[in-house]
C-alpha cells in the first residue's frame, strides 16, 4: 500500500466513468428477457455461469438436501445472527398515525408494506448467506407478504446449501437460480417462471448494479451499490496488526474494493503497511487482495484528526472504523458514512455478519445522501385527508385563490361545485 498525503489523495480521486459498452450489454440483456422470458434466462445462465439449467425455481427437495449438507455450527451461528439482526430492525418499525383538528379535520399517514419484493444475492467469487438474512429480515418485519430471492447457480446447477439454509431459516420459499443482469430484468418485468416484483434490493457486480439503474422507474430499488469500501481513522493507540487485518477483510472482496487508512502517525502508517504485506501472504485470496490494494489501497497521513474527519466526510465511505483514543467522543464529527464502527474491538466483519445493523450500505460516496437498508425501505406511506363540510367552507376561498393563481380553473371549480351544490358551502 502506498503512503500518501491528503492532498495527493484529493488530486487522484477516482472519477466516475460512464461505460457505454457495459450499458449497451445490460440493455440488450434486459430487452431479451422482456421479449423471450425463461429462454433468455437459460441462455444467459449458460453463457455467463457455464451452467445448463432446466428448472429455474429451487424445489422443496433441494431445500431439504441443503439443510442436510450444512453443519450444526453454521446453523447455530446464523440463528444467533438472525436474533441480533431481528432485534435491531424491530426498532425501525413505523406505525400509521392520525391527528384531528378543529371543525372535523382529520389528517394522517397510513403505513403499509410493499407487496412484492425481489432480493438479489450475489455469487461468483463467494456465496453470501449473510446477504440473505440482512435483506430478508427487514422485509419480513415490515410485513412484506411476497418475497422472491434470486442468486446464481453453482456448476452443478444447484444453489449453495448455506444460502438455501439461510433462506429457509428466515422463511423464504421462493428462490430462483438466476444471476446477473438477467435476474434483475426477470424480477422487474416477470417471465413465465419469475413473478414480477415492485422493488428490488440487494448488492451485486457491476452488471447487476447497472441493470438496477436501468429498471429503476419501472420498479423501485434500494440503491446502486458498487464495490466494497473501508476507511479506518487510526492514531498511535491503534494496534497496527488490527488495522491491517481490517483493511485486508475488505480488500479480499474483489479487485475493485477500496481499503484506506487515514492516520495522524507516520510511524503507524509504516507499521500497518508492513503488517498488510505479512498478513496477506497467508490469505487464500492473496492475488485478489494485492490487485485491490494496488489499485485502491492507500495509507493517508494527515496533520490532525480534524483533517482526517474532513477527508472522511468528503469520501463518505461505506464502512468507517474509528480506531482512535476516546473514539465515541468523535462520532459527532462524522456526517457521511454508511456504518461507523467505534474502537479497536468493533471490526467491520462484526457488522457484516452479527451485530444487528444492516450490512447493505451506500457505497461510492452515496452515503452523502443515502442510508443503510432498513425496515423503512420496505414500506410506503399514504397521506390521509378528511375535511368536514364546515372545514372545507372555511378553506374554500384560499384554495380557489391559489388554483386560479396557477391558471388551473378546473381545480377551482372542484371547490365551486361543492359551494353551489351545498348552498354556498
Catalytic residue annotation: 318-319
Closest among 227, 228, 211, 229 to 118, alpha carbons compared: 211
Q: How far is residue 12's CA from residue 159's CA, in Å, rounded to a whole number?
A: 41
Q: How far is residue 363's CA from residue 10's CA, in Å, rounded to a whole number?
A: 18
Question: CA 302, 303, 308, 313 torsion: positive or negative?
Answer: negative
CB 91 within 8 A of CB 374: no
Question: 259 in helix, strand or coil?
Answer: strand
Place of cell 498511535: 236
**Measured CA angle at 271 (ends 266, 276), to 5 deg:** 125
Q: How far is residue 189's CA from residue 350's CA, in Å, rounded to a whole number?
A: 36
Say how many C-beta atoms besides its own lie within 10 A of residue 70's C-beta. 17
Phi, psi of 155, rounded to the nearest 5 degrees = -60, -30
**Grid coordinates of 48:** 455467463
- Strand stretches in 114-225, DSSP E: 116-120, 146-150, 175-176, 199-201, 220-221
**Grid coordinates of 78:** 446464523
Q: How far is residue 153's CA from residue 160's CA, in Å, rounded to a whole number?
A: 7
Length of the chain: 425
Task: Give every CB contact of residue 109 below 8 A, 6+ residues apart in sequence.
Answer: 96, 97, 98, 381, 382, 383, 384
Rg of the chain taking only CA atoms, in angstroms:
26
Sheet strands side by side (includes 297-301): 2-5, 297-301, 258-263, 229-234, 319-323, 339-342
DSSP output for 326-364? TGGGGGGG--S-SEEEESTT--HHHHHHTSSS-S----T
Amino acid at each position: 500500500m502506498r503512503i500518501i498525503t491528503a492532498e495527493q489523495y484529493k488530486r487522484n480521486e477516482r472519477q466516475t466513468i460512464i461505460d457505454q459498452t457495459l450499458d449497451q450489454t445490460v440493455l440488450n440483456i434486459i430487452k431479451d428477457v422482456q421479449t423471450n422470458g425463461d429462454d433468455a434466462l437459460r441462455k444467459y445462465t449458460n453463457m455467463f455461469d457455464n451452467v445448463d439449467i432446466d428448472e429455474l425455481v429451487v424445489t422443496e427437495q433441494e431445500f431439504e438436501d441443503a439443510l442436510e449438507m450444512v453443519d450444526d455450527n453454521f446453523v447455530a451461528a446464523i440463528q444467533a445472527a438472525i436474533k441480533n439482526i431481528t432485534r435491531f430492525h424491530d426498532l425501525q418499525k413505523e406505525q400509521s398515525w392520525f391527528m384531528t383538528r378543529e371543525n372535523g379535520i382529520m389528517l394522517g399517514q397510513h403505513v403499509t408494506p410493499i407487496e412484492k419484493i425481489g432480493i438479489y444475492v450475489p455469487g461468483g467469487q463467494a456465496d453470501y448467506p449473510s446477504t440473505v438474512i440482512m435483506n430478508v429480515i427487514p422485509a419480513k418485519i415490515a410485513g412484506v407478504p411476497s418475497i422472491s430471492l434470486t442468486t446464481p447457480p453453482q456448476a452443478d446447477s444447484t444453489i449453495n446449501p448455506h444460502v438455501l439454509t439461510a433462506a429457509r431459516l428466515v422463511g423464504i420459499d421462493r428462490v430462483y437460480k438466476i444471476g446477473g443482469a438477467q435476474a434483475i430484468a426477470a424480477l422487474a418485468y416477470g417471465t413465465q417462471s419469475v413473478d414480477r416484483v415492485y422493488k428490488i434490493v440487494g448488492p451485486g457486480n457491476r452488471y447487476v448494479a447497472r441493470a438496477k439503474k436501468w429498471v429503476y422507474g419501472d420498479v423501485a430499488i434500494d440503491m446502486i451499490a458498487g464495490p466494497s469500501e473501508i476507511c479506518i481513522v487510526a492514531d498511535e493507540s491503534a494496534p497496527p496488526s488490527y488495522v491491517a487485518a481490517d483493511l485486508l477483510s475488505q480488500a479480499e472482496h474483489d479487485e475493485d474494493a477500496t481499503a484506506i487508512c487515514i492516520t495522524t502517525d507516520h510511524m503507524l502508517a509504516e507499521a500497518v503497511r508492513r503488517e498488510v504485506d505479512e498478513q496477506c501472504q497467508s490469505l487464500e485470496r492473496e492475488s485478489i487482495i494485492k490487485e485491490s490494494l494496488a489499485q485502491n489501497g492507500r495509507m493517508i497521513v494527515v496533520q490532525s484528526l480534524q483533517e482526517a474527519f474532513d477527508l472522511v466526510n468528503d469520501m463518505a465511505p461505506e464502512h468507517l472504523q474509528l480506531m482512535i483514543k476516546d473514539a465515541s467522543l468523535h462520532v459527532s464529527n462524522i456526517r457521511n458514512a454508511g456504518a461507523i464502527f467505534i474502537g479497536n474491538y468493533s471490526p467491520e466483519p462484526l457488522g457484516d455478519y452479527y451485530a444487528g445493523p444492516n450490512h447493505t450500505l451506500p457505497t461510492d460516496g452515496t452515503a452523502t445522501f443515502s442510508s443503510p437498508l432498513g425496515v423503512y425501505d420496505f414500506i410506503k406511506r399514504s397521506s390521509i385527508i378528511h375535511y368536514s363540510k364546515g372545514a372545507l367552507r372555511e378553506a374554500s376561498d384560499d384554495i380557489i385563490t391559489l388554483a386560479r393563481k396557477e391558471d388551473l380553473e378546473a381545480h377551482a371549480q372542484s371547490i365551486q361545485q361543492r359551494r353551489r351544490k351545498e348552498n354556498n358551502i
